[in-house]
Amino acid sequence: MGLESQLGDNIFTTTIDKFVNWGRKNSLWPMPFGTACCAIEMMATLASKFDLSRFGAEAIRFSPRQSDLLIVSGRISIKMMPVLKKIYDQMPDPKWVISMGACASTGGVFDTYTLVQGVDGFIPVDIYIPGCPPRPEDLIDAVIQIQRIVEQESVSPKRRRGAIAS
């Protein structure tokens, strides 16, 4: 990138890291890729009772170019997968992916001719949420786990995407 790649590891960049990550993690902009039933629970998470904005992730952007967190919620068919891939490719780095629900993660109860058996065969996934559909609390939990991953990011390309543990 720019300046930060010249600087290397020193106290200056690590402080910037902390600052940038603090900002990033508390203002995730999700791109909801909701296709099926899980999307309804995702909407419920955003609505008044569960209110995802308590965690700074309520700025839903339907444009991939403005968002950094992709939430894949719902069944992905072989007709949809190219679209999803394209959307993932359009998102600017750094980006994270949540695979919400059994279908997005593994195909769920639908082991049929048309469903992709897990989006992780095609795009990298950071957090999987089990459940069919997962409860809104589960989605909130996943967002918090993403925040932990974000904390470990770095502006320096050498240290980007370090050990991911939650």
Partner 1 sequence: MSEAQQPLAVQKVQEQYPDAILDVSDARGELTITVRKDVIYELMAFLKNDSELAYNFLADVTAVDYSLMEDVLMKYDYARFMVIYHLLSTEKKERLRVKVPVHEKALSIPSMTSIWKVANWLERETYDMFGITFEEHPDLRRILMPDDYEGHPLRKDYPLRGRGERETFNFEQQNA
Partner 2 sequence: MHKDPDRVPGEPMTLNFGPQHPATHGTLRIVVELDGETVLKATPHLGYLHTGFEKLGEHQDYNQFIVVTDRMNYLSPLSNNFGYVLAVEKLLDIQVPKRCEYIRVILAELSRIADHMVWLGMGALDLGAFTVMLYGFEEREKLYSIFEKTTGARLTTSYTRVGGLMRDIYDGFEEDVRRFLNGFPKTLKEVHTLLTRNRIWMDRTKGVGVVSAEDAIDYGFTGPCLRASGVDWDLRKAEPYSSYEAFNFDVPIGANGDVYDRYLVRMEEMIQSGRIVRQALDNLPDGPINVDDYKISLPTKEDAYGNIEGLIHHFKIVMDGHGVQPPVGEVYCATEAPNGELGFYIVSDGSGKAYRIRIRPPSFIHFQAVPHMIEGGMVSDIVAVLGSLNIIAGELDR
Q: Would you tell me which residues interact with partner 1 (CB under 8 A)?
A: 78-79, 81-83, 85-86, 111-117, 121
H-type alpha helices, the chain? 3-7, 11-25, 37-46, 81-90, 101-106, 136-151
Size of the site for ligand SF4 (CB under 6 A): 11
CA distance 44 to 40: 6
Q: Could you tell me which of 143, 92, 113, 115 has the C-alpha nearest to residue 36?
A: 115
Cβ–Cβ under 8 Å, residues 29 and 67: yes
Q: Which of 12, 19, 22, 62 binds partner 2 (CB under 8 A)?
A: 62
Q: Could you tell me which of 95, 94, 93 has the C-alpha nearest to residue 33?
A: 95
Task: Indicate whether 43 belongs to the interface with partner 2 (CB under 8 A).
Answer: yes
Copy the structure tokens of residue 132. 């069919």
Q: What is the DSSP string of 52-92?
A: GGGGT-----SSGGG-SEEEEES--BTTTHHHHHHHHHHSP
Task: Indicate whether 54 belongs to the interface with partner 2 (CB under 8 A).
Answer: no
Site for ligand SF4 in 74-133 (CB under 6 A): 74-75, 101-103, 108, 132-133
Size of the site for partner 2 (CB under 8 A): 30
Name the binder of 117 from partner 2, partner 1, ligand SF4, none, CB < 5-8 A by kind: partner 1
Q: How far is the CB of 101 from partner 1 (least distance, A)?
A: 18
- N-term to C-term CA, the chain: 28
Site string for ligand SF4, 30-69 (x = CB under 6 A): ------xxx-------------------------------
Cβ-based nearer residue to ligand SF4, 102 or 149 = 102
* Contact set with ligand SF4 (CB under 6 A): 36-38, 74-75, 101-103, 108, 132-133
